[in-house]
């Protein structure tokens, strides 16, 4: 019945009204979600080889499933724990991470996220001696990452992945800008880790720039990290922006960094487990495959750069954040990613200056928010929908992977796929209303092209599911109740024997 309410996302308060988050590190945040009944602690021994992933997958076959803290892991020689489904498909945990009201709708969370993402707070440096991540420091030969309960997720995975729910820091040699990205990392040996970055990702561009100079690329990777830095590492920002500044802004508190020992990059001071290392020019080892966010093994085993680990920093009983890549709703690239990506797409469209856009949603069930973007708009002139479709398809936040860009009128809530299907089925004429963009930015992980080398060149369908602008005045009226009839029936609702209150309708047959 909300179909008849129209789409009116409540304007969120400005970020000045948003208080800072009331947690400081991953452990505080776990206490917070525990108090809200959103964390399950698993004390029984679990095998990190596939059993951990199986439990995570089976426990997350429904939306809003709890986070899982595995406290006892077979083969663990470090006293480590593993957190899985940290955010997953839970909008409540997203809200608790960024300090929003968990009862907001998805559309309201997107609007509120745009506001808190506007606030920027630069990181601060804390002394090495008080940084929590320095409770344990190991160097060179003292380091043995095989002592950790590093998960192997899927039966066809090429190895154990220490980095999935990680953040990875690199810098660009020309500008010194530090990038934060989430990139998978396969354990090769006690001090060797494979790093896979897709073409176009900042971690890869940074590494190529160092190697072009014949110099090693310094890397810092955190394998146990708080939810905000993780979420920010997964979003696309311009190379003139700092993921740390945005993370600080979202939290309302500066991100705390501290000095590393071996590299010039900083390390997150409150992380659980961090390594410092070097990617040396030409040092490649076979990496992958990994069961991916698409729900498939996306890419054949191939040579990828190896991080030579120089130092390790950890808290006592560190918590590794493991991100299961799987079909919705079991994928860690879940609702948080969909909300933030949608907010970024709306920001991009606003910056470009295209009028009339009222909402957007990158649905998480569409290959983890990467496959489909629905954009809602008020059509104002001939060609407007085609313009919005093309700009949405190629704006920085939406350009990667997205195959289906669907424009709907502003009476359609883009977060409600039932309404989107109605628009596709009643307002879109496929022979007229679909355009295709070719050779667009995609990834080797897209299984839909059989020849793997072609996969990084994607394609996009632009689908106009708005009422045809040419005939908008003649377009058949939708079936709506008359207001007086609605009000009469609503008044009789209890008398008619209905226990629930009558549906609230806002749009009526024109008088
Ligand atoms: C759990 C998770 C795993 C990811 N794994 C990879 C990966 O292995 N390689 C990659 O290029 N991107 C991966 N991504 C996507 C990138 O994090 C994302 O595109 C981000 O924008 C990269 O940062 P950048 O824009 O600074 O390059 C992953 C994202 C998530 C949330
Ligand atoms: Mn970046």
Q: How far is the CA of 238 from the centre of ligand 2 (A)?
A: 6
- Smallest CA-to-CA distance from 181 within 190, 191, 189, 170 is with 170
Q: How far is the CA of 301 from the centre of ligand 2 (A)?
A: 25
Q: How far is the CA of 201 from the centre of ligand 1 (A)?
A: 8
Q: What is the mean pLDDT of residues 148-175?
A: 98
Q: What is the mean pLDDT of residues 44-57?
A: 98
CA-to-CA distance for 437 and 45, rounded, in angstroms? 50
Q: How far is the CA of 165 from the centre of ligand 1 (A)?
A: 10
Counting other chains too, the contacts that 19-22 makes at CB distance below 8 Å and 24 or more residues apart are 19/99, 19/252, 20/99, 20/251, 20/252, 20/253, 21/97, 21/98, 21/99, 21/228, 21/250, 21/251, 21/252, 21/253, 22/99
Ligand closest to Cα of 207 equals 1
Residue to probe by mutation, ligand 1, list 97, 153, 182, most atoms within 8 Å of CB = 182
Ligand closest to Cα of 369 equals 1
Q: How far is the CA of 182 from the centre of ligand 1 (A)?
A: 4
The pTM score is 0.94
**Res 281: pLDDT:** 98
Ligand closest to Cα of 203 equals 1
CA-to-CA distance for 500 and 477, rounded, in angstroms? 29
199 pLDDT higher than 90: no
Q: Give the alpha-carbon dihedral of 487, 488, 490, 496, to 10 degrees.
A: -170
Q: 271: pLDDT confidence band, cut at 50, 70 and 90? A: very high
3-state secondary structure of 476: coil
Q: How many CB atoms lie within 10 A of CB 205?
A: 15
Ligand 1: atom nearest CA of 337 is 31
Ligand closest to Cα of 397 equals 1
Could you tell me the sign of the dihedral formed by the alpha carbons of 19, 25, 26, 32, in that order? negative
Ligand closest to Cα of 396 equals 1
Distance of CA 306 to the CA centre of its chain: 25
Asked if residues 411 and 7 have their Cβ atoms less than 8 Å apart, the reply is yes
- In the sheet where 67-70 sits, what is the strand order? 39-42, 67-70, 81-84, 319-322
Distance of CA 308 to the CA centre of its chain: 28
CA-to-CA distance for 267 and 258, rounded, in angstroms? 5
452 pLDDT higher than 70: yes
Which protein residue's CA is at the shortest distance from atom 13 of ligand 1?
183
5 pLDDT higher than 60: no
Residue to probe by mutation, ligand 1, list 53, 198, 201, 348, most atoms within 8 Å of CB = 201
**Res 11: pLDDT:** 62
Q: How far is the CA of 177 from the centre of ligand 2 (A)?
A: 10
Q: How far is the CA of 203 from the centre of ligand 2 (A)?
A: 8
Q: Output the CA–CA distances (angstroms, integers) from residue 116 to 227, 363, 369, in the order listed.
A: 15, 21, 21
Helix segments in 353-467, DSSP class H: 384-394, 396-399, 417-426, 430-433
For residue range 66-121, list pLDDT tens digits in order. Answer: 999 999 999 999 999 999 999 999 999 999 999 999 999 999 999 999 999 999 99
Q: How far is the CA of 410 from the centre of ligand 1 (A)?
A: 32
The rounded mean pLDDT for the chain is: 95
Ligand 1: atom nearest CA of 230 is 31
Ligand closest to Cα of 161 equals 1
Asked if residues 235 and 227 have their Cβ atoms less than 8 Å apart, the reply is no
Which stretch of DSSP H or E encloses residue 210?
helix 202-212
Q: How far is the CA of 246 from the centre of ligand 2 (A)?
A: 11
331 pLDDT higher than 70: yes
Q: How far is the CA of 170 from the centre of ligand 1 (A)?
A: 13
Q: Which residues are near ligand 1 (CB < 6 Å)?
A: 164-165, 179, 181-184, 196-198, 201-203, 233-236, 323, 332-333
CA-to-CA distance for 405 and 392, rounded, in angstroms? 7
Cβ-proximal residues to 130 (8 Å cutoff; 6+ apart), any chain: none
Which residue do the tokens 């708009």 mark? 377
Residue to probe by mutation, ligand 1, list 161, 183, 231, most atoms within 8 Å of CB = 183
51 pLDDT higher than 70: yes
Which residue do the tokens 């469209």 mark? 349
Q: How far is the CA of 233 from the centre of ligand 2 (A)?
A: 7
**Res 299: pLDDT:** 80
Q: How far is the CA of 490 from the centre of ligand 1 (A)?
A: 50
Residue to probe by mutation, ligand 1, list 87, 180, 184, most atoms within 8 Å of CB = 184
Which residue do the tokens 């804390």 mark? 126
Segment among 192-201, 354-363, 440-449, 465-474 with least mean pLDDT: 440-449
91-98 vs 26-35: helix crossing angle, rounded to 10: 130
498's tokens: 């209905």
CA-to-CA distance for 208 and 193, rounded, in angstroms? 18
Q: Is 430 exposed, middle or buried (0-12, 13-18, 19+ CB in 10 A)?
A: exposed
Ligand 1: atom nearest CA of 400 is 19
Residue to probe by mutation, ligand 1, list 175, 180, 181, 243, most atoms within 8 Å of CB = 181
100's tokens: 């929003």
Q: Output the CA–CA distances (angstroms, integers) from residue 432 to 202, 428, 461, 464, in the order listed.
A: 38, 8, 13, 9
Residue to probe by mutation, ligand 1, list 234, 235, 247, 288, most atoms within 8 Å of CB = 234
- Smallest CA-to-CA distance from 157 within 267, 319, 299, 281 is with 299
1 pLDDT higher than 80: no
Q: Each residue of 3-25: b (16+ CB within 10 Å) or e?
A: bbeebebeebeebeebeebebeb
Percent of the chain whose pLDDT exceeds 90? 91
Asked if residues 445 and 299 have their Cβ atoms less than 8 Å apart, the reply is yes
Q: What is the mean pLDDT of residues 215-220?
A: 98
Ligand 1: atom nearest CA of 333 is 31
Ligand closest to Cα of 153 equals 1
Residues in the chain: 511
**Res 3: pLDDT:** 47
Ligand 1: atom nearest CA of 200 is 27
CA-to-CA distance for 48 and 152, rounded, in angstroms? 6
Which protein residue's CA is at the shortest distance from atom 19 of ligand 1?
234
3-state secondary structure of 279: strand
Cβ-proximal residues to 476 (8 Å cutoff; 6+ apart), any chain: none
CA-to-CA distance for 471 and 16, rounded, in angstroms? 44
16's tokens: 């000045």
**Res 4: pLDDT:** 53
Q: Give the alpha-carbon dihedral of 51, 57, 60, 63, to 10 degrees.
A: 170
């Amino acid at each position: 019945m909300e179909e008849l309410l129209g789409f009116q996302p409540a304007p969120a308060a400005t970020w000045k009204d948003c208080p800072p988050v009331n947690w400081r590190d991953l452990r505080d945040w776990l206490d917070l979600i525990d108090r809200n009944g959103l964390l399950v602690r698993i004390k029984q021994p679990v095998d990190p080889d596939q059993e951990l992933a199986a439990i995570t997958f089976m426990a997350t076959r429904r939306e809003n499933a709890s986070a899982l803290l595995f406290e006892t892991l077979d083969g663990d020689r470090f006293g480590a724990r593993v957190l899985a489904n940290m955010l997953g498909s839970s909008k409540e945990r997203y809200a608790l991470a960024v300090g929003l009201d968990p009862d907001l709708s998805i559309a309201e969370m997107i609007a509120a996220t745009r506001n808190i993402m506007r606030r920027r707070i630069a990181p601060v440096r804390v002394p090495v001696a008080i940084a929590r991540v320095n409770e344990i420091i190991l160097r060179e030969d003292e380091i043995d990452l095989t002592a950790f309960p590093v998960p192997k997720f899927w039966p066809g995975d090429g190895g154990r992945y220490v980095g999935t729910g990680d953040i990875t820091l690199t810098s660009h040699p020309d500008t010194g800008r530090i990038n934060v990205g989430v990139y998978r990392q396969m354990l090769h040996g006690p001090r060797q880790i494979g790093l896979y970055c897709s073409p176009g990702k900042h971690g890869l561009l940074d590494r190529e720039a160092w190697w072009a100079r014949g110099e090693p690329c310094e890397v810092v990777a955190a394998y146990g990290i708080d939810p905000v830095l993780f979420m920010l590492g997964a979003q696309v920002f311009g190379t003139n922006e700092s993921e740390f500044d945005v993370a600080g802004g979202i939290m309302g508190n500066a991100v705390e960094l501290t000095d590393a020992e071996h590299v010039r990059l900083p390390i997150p001071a409150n992380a659980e487990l961090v390594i410092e290392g070097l990617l040396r020019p030409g040092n490649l080892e076979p990496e992958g495959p990994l069961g991916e966010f698409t729900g498939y093994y996306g890419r054949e085993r191939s040579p990828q750069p190896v991080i030579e680990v120089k130092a390790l920093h950890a808290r006592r009983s560190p918590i590794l954040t493991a991100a299961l890549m799987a079909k919705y709703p079991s994928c860690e690239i879940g609702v948080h990613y969909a909300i933030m990506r949608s907010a970024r797409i709306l920001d991009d469209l606003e910056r470009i200056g295209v009028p009339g856009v009222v909402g957007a949603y990158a649905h998480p069930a569409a290959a983890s928010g990467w496959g489909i973007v629905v954009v809602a708009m008020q059509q104002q002139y001939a060609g407007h929908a085609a313009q919005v479709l093309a700009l949405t398809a190629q704006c920085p936040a939406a350009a990667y992977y997205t195959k289906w860009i669907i424009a709907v009128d502003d009476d359609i809530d883009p977060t409600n796929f039932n309404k989107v299907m109605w628009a596709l089925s009643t307002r879109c004429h496929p022979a007229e209303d679909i355009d295709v963009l070719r050779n667009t930015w995609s990834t080797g992980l897209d299984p839909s092209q059989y020849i793997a080398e072609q996969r990084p060149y994607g394609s996009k369908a632009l689908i106009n599911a708005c009422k045809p602008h040419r005939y908008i005045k003649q377009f058949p009226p939708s079936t709506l109740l008359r207001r007086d009839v609605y009000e009469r029936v609503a008044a009789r609702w209890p008398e008619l024997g209905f226990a629930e209150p009558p549906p609230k309708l806002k749009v009526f047959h024109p008088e």
